[in-house]
Chain A
């Protein structure tokens, strides 16, 4: 019996040049997997692909479909509350995020100090981030209540000061939501920047000290340039996260007084469920995309940066 290999033409010869190219592509997709290994690999991927389509692709596509009617945006832009909300969102992102990251940068330097007490203080400091968000936001809402809130009653009982009703004017109310957001997330970003600082080799600082750069000069010329990329990435990430931050506004101010402190995330919910116009709610959230997409692109580009010029 003749050897089959000598009788049958090779697979490449049977398929011809185009078939061979296709087979090459298949091999590229398969990698080094053989036979049932490939089937098992597919089997393990199928659940993830299903979940990805069911819970990522479908909801996003459904949302974009819901917000695809141009007339929704005409309705949106004619609503005076939407205009106020855009201003609030810009203020929330511009002020709260930058203040939070700047404070985190300073505090990360403080927590670099040696000594057991800074470590103990760090443990206490991270508590606001570690505790569940909603009960604390609701507690803050009640603490700021003008009539029976803890803060105003303490100020009155201890110092006979009649404090303002924090949640009854737009600016003190929005300020309260921003302070709450900073209080909640400051520890997280401080720890991230602290990790960044700890990754700077001590030799660099020691060399700078030999050259006479200490304190603020060392920070400006050595630490900050090395941290700058991380700081920018943290700011971009925090902006992207906070653009969808619903909780710190909804549970502290409820969007009030008179719907004057909504941000886009809370306004979307107001349209969807209070006004029973879910499409308008989706449109309100989609209207943040012109800001969100460039932020994501800048963020992706920043991840490519690999060198720092001191």
Chain B
């Protein structure tokens, strides 16, 4: 046995470090054709299977190797932020929540993907392409930093069987906003009288966690005329009297529904999946939740109820009878700066947005997410024929045949922070628990929003 001396120890250590350093480029070269991808897990197994199929098809077609992880959406957000902060990033990421794209673009943390988007831009919904055109505050310019590839709207989900059990008919549901919401109040009362002590009219999420509270509030705000709360050049428009009135009415309406017991009290702490769970367990007669995830989660375990008891419905008209706009959300793929295989990531993204490939992927996921190519929907009865599926046609109708608005964070990342801070839901809490006047609660929310907007001054 040789004797270990200080010199021999140092010599061995330096040798080991040198060997590791020299060996690394060969390892990197061996992986040059591998694309590391983080993808989001679906609500139903078919969504993940659709991505597995897509990956196999891409590998076969390109010769590249996809090293992909399918991650649940809640931890995915944390992984994305940790990766971008530390600089240890994959090549391609399914951006969730989507506002991570304008946020990271603002910080100059994303690769410009204009060349990818341009390949299909002419066929996309103009809103889908526009929503990926984000501001980079490092380079002081806008460009495409996300590759849009699927969309969604937020429909109502209604237990038709509970409506009938309460002695009403689904066809009785009014088609204007306030009467529509109020319709479910007596339904819940009747059900409670029949012994369903914990059945509520709605599953509106009034918490300060996740996407659903903001989506719900914004639909109420749109219903009461506050849709122009953010201008297209990214300015907060709270001084507009119509916007302010719309916000005050929306806050008052949701607060009243909560205080009067038409929303489950626990909704104040719900996360994004909790209203789905509440709906599935018939805690609520009606829910307002993005995509068809509510229905599709019932496809296997509650199949009869999926087919015959649940109704999907677009938002009703405004109180004055005018058609109401919905918000159309877009999901993106993004390439973080520091990705080792940018060209490979762009190649996969280009393949994903080829309309035929994209259609196959989305149909494989049972249509939870919508195409961003109107022609794909118009020319394929799979999306529109109620005989093939009872829930897809109203969802498609809402997205493609009714007015739609983009999510406001496409104009400014300030709204991404507003979405996550939920100042309007804090305002509701100030009213319901703090006894604050609704106008004062909204003023407090507006003050906070103005503070947030001052941090995001767009100069282009």
> Chain A interface (Cβ within 8 Å of chain B)?
35-36, 38-40, 42-43, 46, 75, 78, 80, 145-148, 165, 167-170, 253-254, 256-260, 272-276, 278
Taking A147-B198, A273-B78 as contacts, is the C-beta distance between A258 and B425 under 8 angstroms?
yes
Smallest CB-CB separation from B80: which chain A residue?
A: A276
Residues of B within 8 A of A274 (CB): 77, 209, 420
The reply on B70 being an interface residue by CB < 8 A is no
Within the complex, the shortest CB–CB distance from A31 to chain B, in Å, comes to 15
Contact A257 B429 (CB under 8 A): yes
How far, in angstroms, from A258 to B271 measured CA to CA in the complex?
Answer: 12
Taking A256-B207, A258-B208, A258-B268 as contacts, is the C-beta distance between A42 and B448 under 8 angstroms?
no
User: Which residue of B5, B283, B425 is within 8 Å of A39 (Cβ)?
Assistant: B5
Given A39-B4, A254-B269, A278-B81, output 17 extra A-B contacts at Cβ < 8 Å.
Answer: A35-B3, A36-B5, A43-B9, A78-B451, A147-B198, A147-B264, A147-B283, A148-B198, A148-B281, A168-B268, A253-B269, A257-B429, A257-B433, A258-B426, A273-B81, A274-B77, A276-B420
- How does the 8 Å CB contact mask read for B399-430 relative to A, with 1 for contact and 0 for none? 00000000000000000110011100110111
Residues of A within 8 A of B209 (CB): 254, 256, 274
Taking A254-B271, A258-B207 as contacts, is the C-beta distance between A272 and B81 under 8 angstroms?
yes
Residues of B within 8 A of A167 (CB): 266, 268-269
Within the complex, the shortest CB–CB distance from A64 to chain B, in Å, comes to 15
How far, in angstroms, from A167 to B5 measured CA to CA in the complex?
Answer: 64
Contact A259 B208 (CB under 8 A): yes
Residues of A within 8 A of B448 (CB): 80
21 A-B residue pairings within 8 Å (CB atoms):
A35-B5, A36-B3, A36-B5, A38-B6, A39-B6, A42-B6, A78-B451, A80-B448, A147-B283, A148-B281, A168-B269, A254-B269, A254-B271, A256-B207, A256-B208, A257-B268, A258-B268, A258-B428, A258-B429, A259-B422, A273-B78
Contact B198 A40 (CB under 8 A): no
Taking A78-B451, A253-B269 as contacts, is the C-beta distance between A275 and B417 under 8 angstroms?
yes
Residues of B within 8 A of A257 (CB): 207-208, 268-269, 429, 433
> Chain B interface (Cβ within 8 Å of chain A)?
3-6, 8-9, 13, 77-78, 81-82, 85, 100, 103, 198, 207-209, 264-266, 268-269, 271, 281, 283, 416-417, 420-422, 425-426, 428-430, 433, 448, 451, 455
Contact B9 A42 (CB under 8 A): yes
Smallest CB-CB separation from A281: which chain B residue?
A: B81
Contact A168 B9 (CB under 8 A): no
Residues of B within 8 A of A38 (CB): 6
Contact A40 B4 (CB under 8 A): yes
How far, in angstroms, from A275 to B409 measured CA to CA in the complex?
Answer: 13
Within the complex, the shortest CB–CB distance from A66 to chain B, in Å, comes to 8
Residues of A within 8 A of B268 (CB): 167-168, 256-258
Residues of B within 8 A of A148 (CB): 198, 281, 283
Residues of B within 8 A of A78 (CB): 451
Within the complex, the shortest CB–CB distance from B108 to chain A, in Å, comes to 14
Within the complex, the shortest CB–CB distance from A130 to chain B, in Å, comes to 28
- Best-buried of A40, A146, A147 by chain B (most CB within 10 Å): A147
Contact A168 B265 (CB under 8 A): yes
Within the complex, the shortest CB–CB distance from A241 to chain B, in Å, comes to 24
How far, in angstroms, from A121 to B253 measured CA to CA in the complex?
Answer: 53
How far, in angstroms, from A274 to B99 measured CA to CA in the complex?
Answer: 11
Residues of B within 8 A of A40 (CB): 4
Taking A36-B5, A256-B208, A260-B429 as contacts, is the C-beta distance between A145 and B266 under 8 angstroms?
yes
How far, in angstroms, from A129 to B270 measured CA to CA in the complex?
Answer: 28
Smallest CB-CB separation from B427: which chain A residue?
A: A258
Residues of A within 8 A of B6 (CB): 38-39, 42
Within the complex, the shortest CB–CB distance from B77 to chain A, in Å, comes to 6
